[in-house]
Each structure stands twice: as C-alpha cells, then as structure tokens.
Amino acid sequence: MKDIMKYKDYYGSVHFDSEALIFYGKLEFIKALVSYEGTNAHGIKKAFEDAVDDYLELCKKKKITPEKPFKGSFNVRVGSELHQRIALAAQNENVSINNFICRILKQVCDSNYHSATT
C-alpha cells in the first residue's frame, strides 16, 4: 500500500510538505487524533511507531480502552432501490443480506488485491 505504514495493528499515513521539507502523518481509521512528523523516511517511520506506543501508553495510564481500527462493522447508505435489489438477491440465494454483501465485498477486494500484486 502506498503512503501507509503498519505497526501493532495500527495504520499511519505518510505525506510530504515540500515547503517545510518534512514528512508528516496521523493514525488512520480511528477517531483519536494522533499525529507525527519526521525529516526523512527513517525518521517518519520511527515517529509513527513512537506515536502508536505513546497512544497505547496514554490509554493505559488513563485506564481507557485504545481504539482499534476496523471493528468489523460499518454503515453504508445504498438507497431504497438498491436495498430492495440486495434483499431480493440475498433471499434468492437463501442467505442474509449481511452474508450476501460480505461475500460480494470479499470477491471484489480479493480481485483488486490480486490485480494490484500482479
């Protein structure tokens, strides 16, 4: 993945400011704002990992549960016509709407992943 780093199941973005000549980013896919910056590739990677560690330590000190990216559920507004079509297609396959959509999304994501790696 371009411009994304992973550490301890957290993801961080990487951007470059050509005027200030710094790399910067933030933890992605969580609500808390955790940002970091560095002056080179090694520096931004270390700053990201330190930011994750600091976030986890702060949560521990405050006795709060750290947010986790990708909780396994999300809301999607599809409109009534598409909702109807999805419900009928799922019923036709004797599966729940959730299982039907999960299967379709997995197929699309698997196809995109294989396309990106070849």
Beta carbons of 48 and 55 less than 8 angstroms apart = no
The two structure tokens encoding residue 7? 């550490």
Q: Give the pLDDT of residue 40.
A: 96
- Say which residues have a Cβ less than 8 Å from residue 36's Cβ, sequence separation at least 6: 12, 24, 25, 26, 44, 47, 48, 50, 51
Q: CA quadruple 40, 45, 3, 52: dihedral positive or negative?
A: negative
Q: Phi and psi of 15, rounded to 5°?
A: -130, 160
Q: Give the pLDDT of residue 71.
A: 87
Q: Average pLDDT of each block of 10 consecutive residues along the chain (118 residues)?
A: 90 96 97 97 97 98 96 92 96 96 94 65
Q: Give the pLDDT of residue 46.
A: 98
Residue type, 102: C
